[in-house]
Amino acid sequence: MTAPTGRVSRFYTGARRHPWVLGKVADWKIPLGPYTPAQIGVAVGGGFLLLKSVGWWSWMGPVPIVAWLLTIWVVRRPKIAGRAPVQAAVGWAMLGWQPRAGRIGGRAARDRAARLLLGGFTIEEAPSPAAAAASRAAVQGAPRVSRPAAAAIFSSPHRRTKEPHAHAAPVRALSGVQQLLALAGQGGGVR
């Protein structure tokens, strides 16, 4: 018997993410930097807005400029549900772009169009007990015909005669359920 081999274990640390920053080259960085894309967006957009609206805020002195610089510093490392603001905004935009029913196999899932289903039924009077007994007697008294013979009878071109048989009594057509009930009434049961 050989000795058991040693167990090998490996441990992997989670991948470290390096944020995308501007203003850092090797060990040198811009004063007060490096800057994230969110900071650059707030700096450019806020600076443009401050320049265009100087007539509205000039009476407040340096307060709007300090608020602008403070906003640039605040958006340095914001997280929205663990993601950077730009990624979160793209995620919300993609969510709004998705179809309401979602996707199946990459295609928009759509409900099938509504279709009108039509149907009908007929309400008939219940047969009188005498008529019901006559129909049962007609079913019981009818000779059984094997299937090949029945096919020969129904496919025969001479099966129509001008005179009805003398012993034929008018019997209503029986539905499938009525036929099954008649068979059950005979004691033959349903197979």
Domain ranges for the chain, please list them.
Answer: 24-98
Write down the pLDDT at residue 44: 94
Write down the pLDDT at residue 18: 58
Write down the pLDDT at residue 22: 65
Among 130, 145, 136, residue whose Cα is nearest residue 185? 136
Write down the pLDDT at residue 16: 57
Among 24, 51, 48, 49, residue whose Cα is nearest residue 36? 24
Query: Residues in the chain with pLDDT < 50?
Result: 150
Write down the pLDDT at residue 65: 92
pLDDT, tens digit, 9 for 90 and up, residues 136-151: 777 776 665 555 554 5
CB < 8 Å & 24+ apart, contacts of 125-128: 127/172
Q: Which amino acid is at 26?
A: A
Write down the pLDDT at residue 157: 53
What DSSP element (H or E) covers 180?
helix 176-186
Q: What angle do CA 110, 115, 119 make, to 5 degrees?
A: 155
- What angle in degrees, to the nearest 10, is found between the helix axes of 63-74 and 37-52? 160
Write down the pLDDT at residue 9: 75
Write down the pLDDT at residue 88: 81
Write down the pLDDT at residue 66: 93
